[in-house]
Amino acid sequence: MSKNTKIWLAVAISLILIGIMLFGGVMMSLNWNFSKLSTVKYVTNTHQIGEDFDDILIDTGWAKIEFVLSEDGLCKVVCHERENLKNNVSVKDGVLSVTVQDQRKWYEHISIMDFDSPKITVYLPKSEYGSLSVKGSTGDIIVPADFNFENADIKTSTGDVSMYASSKGNIEIKTTTGDIKTEKITAKTVSLSVTTGHINASLIECEGDFSVKVSTGKTALTDVKCHNLTTSGSTGDTVLKNVIVTGKLYAKRSTGDVKLEKCDAGEIFIETDTGSVKGSLLSEKVFIVETDTGSINVPKTSKGGRCEISTDTGDIKISIVK
């Protein structure tokens, strides 16, 4: 290594060390609060709601959305938001509406450093409402078990959805990139869909159809009761534990295993391209099974509902437990 190269390396290392020391000094003065470095200014606005309403509509872009049961019996919407990207909160025709107002100039869409996150917190004074409609782009959505809705429709592009509220009618949740978690809910019908992410549903009572769709990700259903169950996906395992279906159970995967533990249905149809089907059922079935590459081990029963299982590459192993 030449003398000039060594000198330039020493200078470069010195500058890097000086930069690290300066950065550390600045951050110490800010108590390591990175949000203070943000070039985007945030404000917190509280909207007091005095009008009565039954339905809730939230259509926003980049905020985390959370519902909270009000402790003082009053309704308010607290928006932690960008100064130039505020939400409009109003009540009209019995609908509480929260919609984003994008009044930014074109150059304000460019954010060099943004270490904060927008959030909308909706404090509701009662537990039962009509329809709930939430449309988000980026941000998690949390609906606690304190509430019950006539219908619930939640859609977001990037973010997790945690749904613990029940519905007298239908619950539909759809996200492109993110996980869906539901627990201890009742509904007439339930539809859960993700493109890339996991679905975890437990302690679900569904009067009608329960639909679960995942393109890439794992599906886990535990302690579920419904009339018909349809679960499908491209890549990822499907795990069903204590799932009781009075009608038909359909499970289809392109790449991934299907695992059953103490499950049952009037009729069962399971299909995988690359993946095994293994587990236990609670009652006898008439088995119709087929695999191109794999072993088969199912009970030799001649009564009960129809159980069709087929795989291209994978084993099939089913037992009956009582």
- pLDDT value of position 107: 46
Residue 63 has pLDDT above 50, yes or no: yes
User: What tokens appear for 214 in the block?
Assistant: 């995942």
pLDDT-derived band at 6, boundaries 50, 70, 90 = low
Would you give the DSSP letter of residue 275?
-
Q: What is the pLDDT of residue 39?
A: 57
- Which residues does residue 59 pair with via DSSP β-bridges, in sequence order? 99, 135
| pLDDT tens string 23-37 | 555 445 545 454 554
pLDDT grade, residue 21 (50/70/90)?
Answer: low
How far, in Å, CA of 123 to CA of 131, rounded?
A: 16
- Report how far residue 109's alpha carbon sits from residue 106's, in angstroms, rounded to the nearest whole number: 6
| CA angle 250–253–254, rounded 5-degree value | 145
In the three-class reduction of DSSP (H, G, I as helix; E, B as strand; rest coil), residue 227 is classed as coil
The lowest-confidence range among 14-18, 137-141, 306-310 is: 14-18
169-210 tens-digit pLDDT: 999 999 999 999 999 999 999 999 999 999 999 999 999 999
pLDDT digits (tens, 9 = 90+) for 79-123: 998 887 789 999 999 999 999 866 655 444 455 445 567 999 999
